[in-house]
Amino acid sequence: VGLCVFLWYARRPSWRRAIAVGAAVALITHVRVNMALLVGVFGLYAAIEAWRCSNLRGRELWLRLIAHPATMGATCVLLLVPWSIRNSKVMGEPVKFVRSPSALMIRGNNPYTYGRIGVFETLPEKVQQSYGGKDIYKTSPEQSRMAWDFILKTHPPFYLFTLLPSKARYLLFREHLFVPWYVYGSDGTPYDSPFGFVFHFPLFDYLPLTMLAFAGFFIRGRRCPWLLVMCWLAIIMPLLLLAGVGGRYRYPADFAVILAAAAILQRALFNHNFEKRFRGATAGVAIYSLVGTAICWALFSGPNILDSAKTLELNPTLQQAVKSELVYSQEKNKVPGGTDLILGMVPINPGLATKLAFTYDVETTGRVKVQTVVKYFDGETTKPLPWHESATGNFNYGDIGKIPHISGRHWRVVTPYGPAKMMGLILSVDGPGGVKLSNLKARGPIWLNQ
């Protein structure tokens, strides 16, 4: 909506249309607050176009260069003020528009989040203590200061080379309609994911769309050639540099990606000689799929880190699941909530294996439900490290898989916790019945040593 209104303004600039641009941006900002940045993009673009226009002079140049952009911004701000007043009154504290910018900053910029909104337990101890029993989303300058200290003073290399790429992957290539199985790490069963975690096809992820958009941003002969890329950067860059937020904050920027990708596809396929170009596109998809599948294979075809003589000697229960089969049955739960079978503790190195692919065969009987769980430890204490990938609850574990009444080969890709030195595996059995677990493997990259 905002883009269409601005293009309407760009065709024939006027006061009325400048006001409409500011109103449109204010309207969409009520849906997602980071869309407010678009008013700056539209104002800047209008000013640049006015400066480049050689036939503008005097008053007309001043209107287009300064007055119209200022009108867009002022209109947007004025229409947002009532909502800000309402929020401040309801919350009982001054709220400009959103309540939690500094809370999102510290939750997304500390050594334990990998750029995501980690659960409360993943916050630095100093931050947890500062909350006490208060609202964890209440904003404060102290939280912003600690986040900036982390970025600029205490952990700049970690932020630049680890956290920032992780944020980029999380924002740009996750939580989309087309998600690659091996990255997202969803449970795999013989019914819903028959190809497992290695098969990679471009229609299943966001990467090819983004690559097409990067080409489409700069094709010639399009009106307002830099506008889409400016809109996209205005929405994406603050998310990468500041708060560690999920893909839903990126969705408003997808209009620029989709339009740019559509432009390049239209020019590449439909201008002329469609059949020849379609064959070329098909070959490109095939090559992409082969390369992607080869990369997946390299990432998840290393040695089974569970199949170590030393590890299996110390963990006889794990040895059964890895070398032969682990069989367990019960008429009812021994404890409320299910019975936990401790499989064993395994040393890990998240620096060398940023992801691990678990595969295992399961057979169930009766009405039993099975849940395989992984916990991470720092190697110095027996207390599990907080689980960092869940933003919905205070969990200290990660599900490898939940298998109710489904027998067959299962898989799961997990991301080991950065500070972890040990990984604990648990088999949780709930309800009457039996379970047989076999061929348990956890494999990382092919360059990982046993």
Beta bridge partners of 365: 434
Per-residue model confidence (pLDDT) at position 123: 62
Q: What is the C-alpha to C-alpha distance for residues 92 and 372, in angstroms, rounded to an integer?
A: 45
Whether the pLDDT of residue 179 is over 50: the answer is no
* Region 414-442 average pLDDT: 84
Whether the pLDDT of residue 194 is over 80: the answer is no
- The residue that leads in pLDDT, 350 or 139, is 350
Whether the pLDDT of residue 185 is over 70: the answer is no
Per-residue model confidence (pLDDT) at position 200: 66
The tokens describing 99, both together, are 């309540």
Per-residue model confidence (pLDDT) at position 419: 77
Whether the pLDDT of residue 189 is over 50: the answer is no
Whether the pLDDT of residue 181 is over 50: the answer is no
- The residue that leads in pLDDT, 195 or 444, is 444
Per-residue model confidence (pLDDT) at position 176: 39
pLDDT tens by residue, 85-138? 888 888 777 777 766 667 777 777 776 666 555 555 556 666 666 555 555 555
For residue 41, name the pLDDT band (cuts at 50, 70, 90): very high
- The residue that leads in pLDDT, 387 or 340, is 340
Asked if residue 126 lies in contact with residue 115, where contact means CB atoms within 8 angstroms, the answer is no
Cα–chain center distance at 22: 30
| Highest mean pLDDT of the ranges 51-55, 106-110, 327-331 | 327-331
- The residue that leads in pLDDT, 163 or 321, is 321
Coil, strand or helix at 333: coil
| Contacts for 127 with CB less than 8 Å, ≥ 6 apart | 106, 110, 143, 146
Q: What is the C-alpha to C-alpha distance for residues 255 and 257, in angstroms, rounded to an integer?
A: 6
- The residue that leads in pLDDT, 392 or 92, is 92
The tokens describing 150, both together, are 């982390």
Whether the pLDDT of residue 393 is over 50: the answer is no
| Positions of E strands within 268-368 | 325-330, 339-347, 356-366
pLDDT tens by residue, 257-304? 888 888 888 877 776 777 787 888 788 878 877 887 888 888 888 899
